[in-house]
Structure 1
């Protein structure tokens, strides 16, 4: 992933909860495989409506010839990772409706983050680091 200082929704950036970044590396015959996950927030726009999202992000890489740096959450994210499928949305708020968990306590937790997040677009909620993207720089 690449950490960018400037928010551009077109680059599909994520705000990462660094305390949740977990990654393991497996080596076989000098080839490394990475697998991990973290919790994240992000904005997406569809049909002209901006949505604040929260959920999990799968992190992985295959066929790496260099030993990965797993010394810190930022180092783990700095490896050449893939997540072509994007985040696994657990909750989404568009300013009028919530989509996500049917458990009231989880809804309240999500909305406590997503409502102020959308109100202060494109800011990140406290506790999240960003902006991280899987898209390469041009």
Structure 2
């Protein structure tokens, strides 16, 4: 991934919680590497759905070797954006989609409502903008 200072929704950027990297080593059944790092990191992003801007919360994941030393290295090594982020909650200003547990819904909406209201600002505690698209 590449970090950019400007927000352009067309580049499908993510704001990342750099403190949230987690993962574990898993053995590799074949290949030259004895293991891979199965990592996840929390992210938020804006997208357009049917002409409406929505705010999303979820995670980015990747399998990497060698194991990254920190979140920035994890993001810099993450070069396959085919699947994008795993969306866990989405807010369009009227409707919420996502979790079914009341505590998680509340946590998502406490992040997504002000995020959408302050579009395209990066929410507090997040670093952005990160994109899979090559630099122009």
The answer, yes or no, to whether TM exceeds 0.5 is: yes
Return the offset for 1:22.
Answer: 3.2
Deviations 1:23-81 (A, max 9, x none): 567785369855321111000002210000001111235xxxxx747222112211152
What's 2:49 paired with?
Answer: 46
The normalised TM-score by structure 1 is 0.84
- C-alpha distance in 1 between matches for 2:113 and 2:131: 23
The normalised TM-score by structure 2 is 0.85
Residues 42, 52 of structure 1: 8 Å contact kept: yes
Once the two structures are superposed, the pairs formed by residues 57-96 of structure 1 within 5 Å of their partners are 57-60=60-63, 68=66, 70-96=68-94
Gaps of 5+ in 1: 62-66
Taking a change above 3 Å as real, the CA distance of residues 69 and 88 of structure 1, as seen in their structure-2 partners, is closer
Say whether 1:116 aligns with 2:102. no
What's 1:64 paired with?
Answer: none
Residue of structure 2 aligned with 1:36, choices 31, 35, 39? 39
Residue of structure 2 aligned with 1:97, choices 95, 98, 101? 95
